Structure 1
Amino acid sequence: MFGQAPSAALLELLSDPVLTLRADLSTLRANPAARDWLGGDAIEGWRLLRQAAGSRLEIWLRDATRAIDAGRTPPLAPPLKLAGGQRATLHLLRDRPNWLLHARLSAADSDEPPLAEWLALSPQPAALADAGSGALLRRSGAFDVLCPGAPRHLNELPDLLQALLGWSQDTVLPALAAQRPQDPPLLTEAEFVDAQGRHRWLQARLRLWRQPGRTLLLALLEDHSVQHERDLAHQQLDALMDTAAVGLATFQPEAGWLKAHRKGSPFKAGAKQPAASLQGISRELVEPASLPEFERLQRALKKGDAVEVRYAVRHPELGRRWLLTRVAPGLLAGGRRSTSVVTLDVTAQAQAENALLLRAENERTVLDSVLVGIVTVGSDGIEWMNRSARRMFSCELDDVLGQPMGVLAPDDEGHVFHGEPGSEVFECRLRGRDGREFWVIGNAVQTPREDGGLRLTYALLDIDRRRQAEAQSRLAQASLARIIEGAPLAITLHEAQSLRIVKLNQAAAALAGRPEAALLGGTPAQLFGDELGTRVAADMREALASQAVVQREYAVTKGALSRVWDTRLLHLAGSDDTPELLLLVASDVTEQRAAEQARLQAAISQRELLVREVHHRIKNNLQGVAGLLQQIAQRRPEVAPVLKEAVGQVQAIAQVYGLQVGASGPLLLKRVFDAIVGSVQRTQGRVITTAAEGGALLDNWCLPEAEAIPIALSLNELLGNALRHSDGAQVRCQLICDPCGVTVEIVNPGRLPDGFLLQNVKSGVSGLGLVRALLPRRSAILSLEQQGSDVVCRLELIPPSVVHNPATKPSSG
């Protein structure tokens, strides 16, 4: 023990482990010996040591610190046994404010039994060998029985036994050589034939024990032959029980359940089950309806009685299952009582029985819902009647149950219900329980009963109601025929496939101008004529493919007389929605259409008259405005140039409206050109030389109403601009027409400014700015270029700025 607290340098020189602990006994420092003892991380090593030693070490540390601080002798530390049998004795010393913990290490106890004694006691084959040289150092007696001959080296053992011991080609197996101390033992297995020729399944547990300068191989062999035979027997039993879907268990009063059901048991599906077949079926799994049978089975098990019980369970994974359990008590050798319990899964059989009952119930339900009356008669009389039969005879089943069929028939000795019915269809008169008599058509079928007898099943159809329905149908058809015949409309019925006429009225015959007999079986061409018949047939096909009414108008010409028929086409579908007939209804609307056309023409004439009047008034007003502007220009010379330009623009617009007074629709481009040139000449007091090229094409191009005024204003501005910049010289204007469009070319003496570009001219209210603002961008092209001493302006117009004259045909050029 230390007398006084040594210095840190002295602690480093001590060969015993010494730890410097804080006040909370956690590691502050460790000398080299302590680090060798606890590992490189002494802090973690001390924590693991305290954790492994448990409460004994913690109690000692607490008591020792208290005793030392109180000046008393601390208690002795509990002995600590370390890995490898090494022991450690601890001492605690105060080094304020810290603690010093000194550990004295001692070698393992030498009073343990020698290895030879342990090997002699081992019932399993065991061996100890030198892993480097392969020499066998120790082996148990069971190992000598397994491999007689007292081998001294691993190489002397059979090859299979060498492999079991992890030895191959004078060295240990790589997997064994790579084994670490904390790894589990290496396991090897093989089937070995011993010296007596018996096949034994051996499993070896191998571990290397490494010592300084030497490595030992420890091997422990276990004989698993019995376990393999048992597992093989279990597999064979499992296969048998899986094939038969049987659960098997044996119960002995002294030992309880000896064997639980195997995996083939019908009520085991991977979940944890108790040890016994019936213990695996808890009361909660049994369906309520089967609880009495299940209780009877439990009582038989307690008493040891033989019993056979079938019950239903609701398994959480397999669903609803039916089980059949047989209990067979018996005696084993020695007089011990035993009970064998066999459980069969009879779900398939129970499901088949339930399906048969359900099928019979479904058949009764179906028969109860049909419109045909069905009566079942057995040897004791009427057994069952469906709903239609009860309604037919105005009674309930209890009213006629067990009575013969004759109770439903009149008192007639020859009635079919009073004798033996044949197999053919019969027709007879019956009487209901309310006294009503009616006629039915039916037949009787004999079917076997469960008891071997015969059962008669009658199927009866009330033909009174069918006759009433047929009479009503005939009445409706007759009414429809009268309506069709007397209707003022032309009505025809056509077959859906051939479109041939199957029925028509007098109005339809008048439409065709032929008698009805000649038109029956005819085609649409015979009804409307050859030229119109193809179109009518196509419209009929469209109506057959449509769910809506198809409306068309046809102009039918007979000689010099033409009539207009407003026609409706509708297909009439059958029971399966397939068109069977086509209905054609036509009305003569000739007078109605003529009146509508006359009203339309009158409205158009009135509109044109109003438009001409409006155009005439606009022209006069514009000319009046131009006159006023000219008077102002005379009185105000300072604004005369501006007003003169405005007068020209107003006159150009007035010329367009003047041309529209006597015409409708597009204006002839040649007339607009001449009017604008004349207006400019009058306004400017100058003469413009004009020319026109194109021949017949001059009358082919027109200006639409929407483009007439913008193009007229543009032409007025271009001509005025040419006159202003010609310095009194002659200005030429030429109109060129070709099949693609129109070109107006204006030539005047002058010169364009240097660097002049037309696209740089901004839009304005006069001159080129106004032209660029008015002309349509995509169908009008304006260009200005210098040719010698002349400036040439071209305005190219293409559709839709210009259009063809509706009164003439466009020329191909």
Structure 2
Amino acid sequence: MFGPPASAALLDLVSDPVLTLRADLSALRANPAAREWLGADAAEGWRLLRHAAGMRLEAWLRDAVIALDSGRQPPPAPPLKLADGQRATLQLVRDRPNWLLHARLSPADPGEPPLVEWLALSPLPAVLADASGALLRRNAAFDALSPGSPRHLNDLPDLLQALLGWHHGAPLAALAAQRLQDPPLVTEAEFVDPQGRQRWLQARLRLWRHHGRSLLLAILEDHSTLHERDLAHQQLEALMDTAAVGLATFQPEAGWLKAHRKGSPFKTGAKQSIGSLQGIHREIVEPGSLPEFERLQRALKKGDPVEVRYAVRHPELGRRWLLTRVTPGQLAGGRRTTSVVTLDVTAQAQAENALLLRAESERTVLDSVLVGIVTVGPEGIEWMNRSARRMFGCELDDVRGQPMGVLAPEGESEHPFHRAEPSHDVFECRLRGRDGREFWVIGNAVQTPREDGPGLVTQQLTYALLDIDRRRQAEAQSRQAQASLARIIEAAPLAISLHEAQSLRIVKLNQTAATMAGRSEAQLLGGSPAALFGAEQGEQVAADMREALASLTVVQREYRVPTGQTARMWDTRLLHLAGVSGDDAPELLLLVASDVTEQRAAEQARLQAAISQRELLVREVHHRIKNNLQGVAGLLQQIAARRPEVAPVLREAVGQVQAIAQVYGLQVGASGPLVLKRVFDAIVGSVQRQQGRITTTAAEGGALMADWCLPEAEAIPIALSLNELLGNALKHSDGAQVRCQLLCDLTGVTVEIVNPGRLPEGFALQNIRSGVSGLGLVRALLPRRSAILSLEQHHENVVCRLELIPPSVVHNPATKASS
């Protein structure tokens, strides 16, 4: 009986392919003939062969295994037809614990088409694969697209897989639904070959089915040259369409040499008559443009040069304006020809219409302004807006064509309206309307050139006149408003001052403001804000004033102004007065202040009284809570004395109640957070008294001991946690000494408790569930993010560390304020 090495050596001498299969029929070893048949990776080749053969091979393998294991003759193996035309006959032999698969290969049928030869002769890249994606055959042209000897379609680049109709490990749905009579599926894509050249490839795909087996045949063609040609045509057509130009050439003996391009916006049908111009039929020409269109047709027939502009109504593009130029010429040999260029000038026509509409719109706007506007041309007055007509009390028809001097008062020969050359400076003059009303205006005249025709430029004068009477009335009203404001400022019981916006200098103030500063009005005028509020607050007041100027809203501040031995509190409001004194006047800042010293003192007194009352109530409540908790602890101790069976549980509860009572006892008379050192000492003392044992305590941190405090919300949970951790250490120390120390640094506080003992085997703190006692209570009480609890074995001692960081601990407000 040969061992495995000897069997392997014998199999290597066999000329037929022999595979050693495992119990699951996967390939374990292969002799040289099998590797030559299935490839260097024989295991992968056997898997692909099974997948390609389908259910026939799988069913035979299953039946043969069952028959051989039961001692029966296995069924004959189904003949396998390979892609190269060869046939394989398989035989399965039991070689425990494995199987031996013997394959006898027969040459290809000479009557079948030599597929390998066809692929080798084809200059186009071609590939044959089965439905699972395994590459069965490919030619050299295909290998040039994807070097590296791929064995599966998944090994190809993604773009090449898409060209071959392979997507996510399966053929495309269009290939799967392909019928025999359907044309092959065509795909196209731009592909960069291994040489770095960009090639536009087209693939023709066919999924061939025969006796339950599917094969994918693909042939690729390089359409790069055709693609570049089509792209050039598209770019040329896009350029022509963008330029909106139509080109054509007409010869009398040959007709139109080049018709309008396909897809032209002016083509109305598939058939074009000789009498039409590049697809422009008479039916789509606007009725108003028909004479021009007829002139164009006559020029075409006679071969005369002409340039015609006309409008058409296109069924898709709507109304369009076209400009056609006809240029006759002569070719070599004396043949006459006519070149026709048609431009789409719709945009130019629309621009001209827009200019007309804009001019009309500007006239409408000028007609609605309050300034009187009069335009004068070489023939006299041409136009007046509504304000000018109302100003002079006449209509345009009354003065049209007359000189501007007709609107000047009689007898004033030096009036600006009589000047031959108008001055560009602003002038002020008196006018008399046709209704007899006299008034003064301020205005100016502007001379501009104007085109009245080809090569004819004339000068046009435009007068702009403003009725000064209305401005004078407005100025009078402004003066009255300023006078009223001055009286209000002087009589108001508030301190009021006006400051220049740029320099913040005082420009006006009332007597109350002067009294607030303790100086006279003459001394304060022109001074800075420091003159009103003192040098100490002058910079702050100036900064608040600039904030009010920038925000344009009311800014409210309170300032403490020293007055002799005392100080007064002034509630101040700052407001930016933008443009209240006219456009020419500087911007101002209004300051209004009221004395709220007595009001603030009364509010402070009420606040202090309320705080004192609250602290008294809190101290009384904490004192009563402490007494009640100590009473509860006493009752629990009495019950523990009478009921020994529950004494341990009650003593644990007594310790917890005493810890809470200690916290409330420390809060009596205290305001704000509790100093952590005091809580630590109180809890340690309470546990020692209850357990009847003495622990060794220490504290490190110096001045930081008084700096770290417990917030009110965290005091009781942390006190209970310390009580449980210390009591637990005493309970498990077996009477030995327990050390407890408090370590303080700049980042936080650490409580370390060390007791002799050993942790249970496999102890993990995270496995302790939350409960009402012991470590479960500690895990339930401690905050998750600002408290870190650890319990570790160190030699013969158990070390418990509780690290507290903000916000579980905070800095003492008293020490923070003093520092």
TM-score grouping bracket, smaller chain normalisation: 0.5 to 0.7
Partner of 1:386: 385
1:477 aligned to 2:482?
Answer: yes
Q: Mapping of 1:119-518 within 5 angstroms?
A: 283-284=282-283, 287-291=286-290, 312-314=310-312, 319-321=320-322, 368=367, 370-375=369-374, 383-401=382-400, 412=411, 416=415, 423=422, 427-442=428-443, 459-518=464-523
Give, in whole Å, the separation in 1 of the partners of 2:601 and 2:374. 71
Give, in whole Å, the separation in 1 of the partners of 2:499 and 2:293. 75
Report the CA distance shift for 1:261/1:567 in structure 2 as closer, same or farther (over 3 A): farther
Report the CA distance shift for 1:422/1:807 in structure 2 as closer, same or farther (over 3 A): closer
Q: 1:565 aligns with which of 570, 574, 578?
A: 570
TM-aligned CA deviation for residue 519 of structure 1: 3.6
Partner of 1:752: 758
Structure 1 stretch displaced more, 432-441 or 388-397: 432-441
Q: 1:705 aligns with which of 678, 699, 712?
A: 712
SS of equivalent residue, structure 1 residue 688? coil
TM-aligned CA deviation for residue 613 of structure 1: 1.6
**Is contact 2:309-2:321 (8 Å) kept?**
no
Report the CA distance shift for 1:711/1:269 in structure 2 as closer, same or farther (over 3 A): closer
Partner of 1:623: 630
1:608 aligned to 2:615?
Answer: yes
Identity in percent:
72
**Is contact 1:544-1:579 (8 Å) kept?**
no
Give, in whole Å, the separation in 2 of the partners of 1:579 and 1:503. 13
SS of equivalent residue, structure 1 residue 552? strand
Report the CA distance shift for 1:783/1:286 in structure 2 as closer, same or farther (over 3 A): closer
Q: Rg larger in 1 or in 2?
A: 1
TM-aligned CA deviation for residue 487 of structure 1: 3.8
Instruction: Look up the equivalent residue of 2:433 and give its one-letter code.
Output: G
**Is contact 1:324-1:346 (8 Å) kept?**
no
Report the CA distance shift for 1:259/1:554 in structure 2 as closer, same or farther (over 3 A): farther
Report the CA distance shift for 1:633/1:261 in structure 2 as closer, same or farther (over 3 A): closer
TM-aligned CA deviation for residue 418 of structure 1: 10
**Is contact 2:771-2:780 (8 Å) kept?**
yes
Partner of 1:592: 599
Partner of 1:9: none
Aligned residues: 542
SS of equivalent residue, structure 2 residue 619? helix
Give, in whole Å, the separation in 1 of the partners of 2:473 and 2:555. 36
**Is contact 1:491-1:508 (8 Å) kept?**
yes
Instruction: Look up the equivalent residue of 2:627 and give its one-letter code.
Output: N
Instruction: Look up the equivalent residue of 1:656 and give its one-letter code.
Output: V
Instruction: Look up the equivalent residue of 1:621 and give its one-letter code.
Output: N
TM-aligned CA deviation for residue 452 of structure 1: 11
TM-aligned CA deviation for residue 625 of structure 1: 1.7
Give, in whole Å, the separation in 2 of the partners of 1:802 and 1:426. 81
1:534 aligned to 2:539?
Answer: yes
**Is contact 2:572-2:591 (8 Å) kept?**
yes
SS of equivalent residue, structure 1 residue 395? coil
Give, in whole Å, the separation in 2 of the partners of 1:341 and 1:723. 115
Report the CA distance shift for 1:624/1:559 in structure 2 as closer, same or farther (over 3 A): same
**Is contact 2:768-2:775 (8 Å) kept?**
yes
**Is contact 1:431-1:437 (8 Å) kept?**
yes
Q: Mapping of 1:11-90 within 5 angstroms?
A: none
Instruction: Look up the equivalent residue of 1:642 and give its one-letter code.
Output: V
Give, in whole Å, the separation in 2 of the partners of 1:722 and 1:362. 95
RMSD across aligned positions (CA): 5.6
**Is contact 1:761-1:768 (8 Å) kept?**
yes
Report the CA distance shift for 1:636/1:276 in structure 2 as closer, same or farther (over 3 A): closer
Q: Structure 1 length as normaliser, TM-score?
A: 0.53
Give, in whole Å, the separation in 2 of the partners of 1:323 and 1:411. 59
TM-aligned CA deviation for residue 780 of structure 1: 4.8
1:767 aligned to 2:774?
Answer: yes
Partner of 2:787: 779
Q: 1:688 aligns with which of 683, 694, 699?
A: 694
Partner of 1:214: none
1:668 aligned to 2:675?
Answer: yes
TM-aligned CA deviation for residue 490 of structure 1: 3.8
Partner of 2:641: 634
**Is contact 2:733-2:757 (8 Å) kept?**
no
- Unaligned stretches of 5+ residues in structure 2: 1-245, 328-337
Kindly provide the CA deviation profile for residues 675-701 of structure 1, in whole angstroms up to 9, marking residues without a partner as x: 4344445444x2425555456655444
Give, in whole Å, the separation in 1 of the partners of 2:435 and 2:309. 50
Report the CA distance shift for 1:419/1:259 in structure 2 as closer, same or farther (over 3 A): farther
Give, in whole Å, the separation in 1 of the partners of 2:599 and 2:627. 42
**Is contact 2:759-2:798 (8 Å) kept?**
no
**Is contact 1:743-1:796 (8 Å) kept?**
yes
Q: Mapping of 1:547-562 within 5 angstroms?
A: 547-562=552-567
TM-aligned CA deviation for residue 377 of structure 1: 6.4
Report the CA distance shift for 1:281/1:494 in structure 2 as closer, same or farther (over 3 A): same
Instruction: Look up the equivalent residue of 1:764 and give its one-letter code.
Output: G
Instruction: Look up the equivalent residue of 2:713 and give its one-letter code.
Output: A
**Is contact 1:677-1:688 (8 Å) kept?**
no
TM-aligned CA deviation for residue 541 of structure 1: 3.8
Report the CA distance shift for 1:413/1:765 in structure 2 as closer, same or farther (over 3 A): closer
TM-aligned CA deviation for residue 275 of structure 1: 5.3
TM-aligned CA deviation for residue 608 of structure 1: 1.3
TM-aligned CA deviation for residue 617 of structure 1: 1.8
Report the CA distance shift for 1:458/1:754 in structure 2 as closer, same or farther (over 3 A): closer
TM-aligned CA deviation for residue 601 of structure 1: 1.9
- Unaligned stretches of 5+ residues in structure 1: 1-244, 251-256, 327-339
SS of equivalent residue, structure 2 residue 551? coil
Report the CA distance shift for 1:420/1:522 in structure 2 as closer, same or farther (over 3 A): closer
SS of equivalent residue, structure 2 residue 466? strand
Instruction: Look up the equivalent residue of 1:594 and give its one-letter code.
Output: A
Report the CA distance shift for 1:691/1:401 in structure 2 as closer, same or farther (over 3 A): closer
Instruction: Look up the equivalent residue of 1:591 and give its one-letter code.
Output: E
Give, in whole Å, the separation in 1 of the partners of 2:722 and 2:342. 111
**Is contact 2:248-2:341 (8 Å) kept?**
yes
**Is contact 1:567-1:587 (8 Å) kept?**
yes
Give, in whole Å, the separation in 1 of the partners of 2:310 and 2:359. 22
**Is contact 1:751-1:786 (8 Å) kept?**
no
Give, in whole Å, the separation in 2 of the partners of 1:352 and 1:669. 85
Give, in whole Å, the separation in 1 of the partners of 2:277 and 2:704. 113
SS of equivalent residue, structure 2 residue 571? strand
TM-aligned CA deviation for residue 742 of structure 1: 5.2
Q: Structure 2 length as normaliser, TM-score?
A: 0.52
Partner of 2:32: none
Instruction: Look up the equivalent residue of 2:475 and give its one-letter code.
Output: E
Kindly provide the CA deviation profile for residues 17-55 of structure 1, in whole angstroms up to 9, marking residues without a partner as x: xxxxxxxxxxxxxxxxxxxxxxxxxxxxxxxxxxxxxxx
Partner of 2:128: none
**Is contact 2:392-2:407 (8 Å) kept?**
yes
